[in-house]
Amino acid sequence: MLEISRNVQIPDDEIELTAIRAQGSGGQNVNKVSSAIHLRFDIHASSLPDFYKERLLAMSDARISQDGVVVIKAQQFRTQEKNRADALDRLRELIQSVAKVQKTRRATRPTRSSHRKRMDKKTQRGKTKSLRGKVRKNQIEYLKSEDHIVSNPAYNWAHAAFAPWKRTVHAWIRLC
């Protein structure tokens, strides 16, 4: 009897467990011993409540076939008993994951101040990038006017970071 929750259990006769040979390396033992477990669980023929059946069938999971059969292959461990327990645990987790009702997402808007800050940062970044490359006449006038200094104290760090570059440009302007 596989217990999903306090109220929901799956009888053993509804779960088909088959021992098969495991894949991969393992020496001579892997060719002789059938230690992997192939679990098959038919959702339609099960005694699960309709709530679980509908949600399992609606899932887009590679382990659930179009016929509504859950197929789990467990071959992680060397012993058949551990692989059987692993397959049953994975089936339990799959069914329990369906029982959790996800919270519906509510759309939210960014605050006015966060929108303003983002736009100010974009403007400042654009101005910084426009000052890269060759210096043109309109840029020289722009630098002389000190319009590129943002009055908001939160953005003065950007001005301070480019101060050495600005001194170089002002020195170049004096030479012109």
79 & 137 share domain: no
Strands 15-20 vs 69-74: parallel, antiparallel or unpaired: unpaired
Provide the token pair at 49. Answer: 């409540």
Its pTM stands at 0.56
Report if residue 106 sits inside a domain.
Answer: no
pLDDT at position 114 is 94
The domain in which residue 8 lies consists of 2-99
Provide the token pair at 161. Answer: 């970071």
pLDDT at position 80 is 86
93 & 121 share domain: no
75 & 50 share domain: yes
63 & 117 share domain: no
Query: What gap in Å lies between CA 164 and CA 158, rounded to an integer?
Result: 12
70 & 126 share domain: no
76 & 122 share domain: no
Give how many domains the chain has, as a whole number: 2
Residue 26 contacts residue 32 (beta carbons within 8 Å): no
pLDDT at position 128 is 85
Report if residue 154 sits inside a domain.
Answer: yes
Residues 6+ apart with CB under 8 A from 63: 70, 71, 72, 94
pLDDT at position 8 is 84
pLDDT tens string, the chain, 176 residues long: the values are 787 888 888 888 888 888 888 777 666 666 677 888 899 998 888 888 888 888 888 888 888 888 888 899 988 888 889 999 999 999 889 888 888 888 898 999 999 999 999 999 999 998 888 778 776 777 667 666 665 555 555 555 555 555 555 556 556 566 65
12 & 89 share domain: yes
Last residue of a domain, one of 50, 78, 99: 99
